[in-house]
Amino acid sequence: MTRPHQSSTPSSDATPQHRYTAELAGQIEQRWQELWRERGTFHAPNPVGDLAGSDPASGVPADKLFVQDMFPYPSGSGLHVGHPLGYIATDVYARFHRMQGHNVLHTLGYDAFGLPAEQYAVQTGTHPRTTTEANIVNMKRQLGRLGLGHDDRRSVATTDVDFYHWTQWIFLTIYNAWYDTAAGKARRIGELEAEFADGTRALGDGRDWRRCR
């Protein structure tokens, strides 16, 4: 008995009505990202101040986790594939701990000081601040497409005056200090100079500093 011939080509009835296309994926991703922004899903609350949560009385979870990504250099027109390679890994790590109930602060900034930014400005014939700020805007747009869980309220750039004001203060504070092993803490360099000058402190080999000048 011969069996009826069966065609190897699937009929049109077997075709799914909804296919997962790049366009559909983009629509789903955009919808969720908008929801995350509205709800402040990735916002890590401070105990008080402008960045406090919607209910400051509830406090901040004691189990805190700080995740900071490497700052990209906005010395080019956009990100390269190496950036999301690392950011996706830290994003997975931060999301996992957030889902465990931890108070996760995941941040990202932009490091624009140095020769790359200057060289890019020379090549394009544009002021470094102009190119840097334009590149940061573009990078933020690209990072937004990835849907990473950064708290965008805490994004900084090393070229912001409010930022490098404090980095310069930290450098000067460290530069003008020395570590006193006997006291177990840093002290102002002027105090060390005064001790050498009045003879209360000798050099490491026991000599009097005043006689070695």
Q: Determine whether 42 is exposed, middle or buried from the number of CB atoms within 10 Å of its CB (0-12, 13-18, 19+).
A: buried
Residue 34: pLDDT band (50, 70, 90) is very high
More confident residue, 113 or 82: 82
Give the pLDDT of residue 10.
55
Please report, for residues 140, 146, 165, 212, the alpha-carbon distance to residue 23 in angstroms, rounded to integers and kept in the order given.
22, 15, 45, 78
Residue 153 has a CB neighbour count (10 Å cut-off) of 12
Q: Which residue type does 139 have? A: M
- Cut 0.85: pTM above it: no
Render pLDDT for 87-146 as a digit per residue (tens, 0 to 9). 999 999 999 999 998 889 999 999 887 777 788 888 888 888 888 888 899 999 998 889
**Which domains does the chain show, CATH number per domain?**
61-159 (3.40.50.620), 176-211 (no CATH)
The Cα–Cα gap between 34 and 32 comes to: 5
Q: pLDDT > 90: what percent of the chain?
A: 33
Higher pLDDT, residue 58 or 25: 25
Answer left, alpha or beta for residue 120, where phi above 0 means left and psi between -120 and 50 means alpha. Answer: alpha
Q: Which residues of 4-39 are buried (b: 16+ CB within 10 A; e: fewer)?
A: eeeeeeeeeeeeeeeeeeeeeeeeeeeeebeeeeee
The pLDDT of residue 3? 55
CA distance 183 to 202: 16
- Segment 141-158 shows an average pLDDT of 90
- Residues 75 and 124: beta-carbon distance below 8 Å: no
Q: Which of 79, 81, 76 is nearest to 108 (CA)?
A: 79
Q: Between residues 7 and 104, which one has the greater pLDDT?
A: 104
Q: Summarize pLDDT for 51-75 with one digit per residue, the tens.
A: 876 665 566 777 889 999 998 888 7
% of residues, the chain, pLDDT over 70:
87
